[in-house]
Amino acid sequence: MVESSSSDAAVKFLEKRGGELLKNVCAAKVRKTLSKVVSGKPITEDDVFDKVKEHVQKQTKPAKQKSNSLGKKPVKKPKPKP
């Protein structure tokens, strides 16, 4: 008999707070992968090849510009010993 009261309490809790529990859950982002673009089509066709090139261009990120022209930290000169 104790189990039914605890399950009743659980049901009441979920009825009361169920909507709030799922409020912060976000849907997964749909990703457009290359396999979805090609999906078993022959790559030798022009339209598929163009879609592959377009997909690769969208996926590549621009390179970050370095603040230092050499890309290295400045080297401190050692102090002369007295």
Dist. CA 45–CA 38, nearest whole Å: 11
Q: Which domain holds residue 33?
A: 23-58
- The pTM of the full predicted model, rounded to 2 decimals, is 0.41
Is residue 49 assigned to a domain? yes
Q: For the chain, give the mean pLDDT.
A: 75
Is residue 2 assigned to a domain? no
Q: How far is C-alpha 15 from the chain's CA centre?
A: 33
Dist. CA 59–CA 73, nearest whole Å: 31
Is residue 37 assigned to a domain? yes
The structural domain count of the chain equals 1
Is residue 71 assigned to a domain? no
The tens digit of pLDDT for each residue in 18-55 reads 666 666 767 778 888 888 888 888 888 899 899 889 98
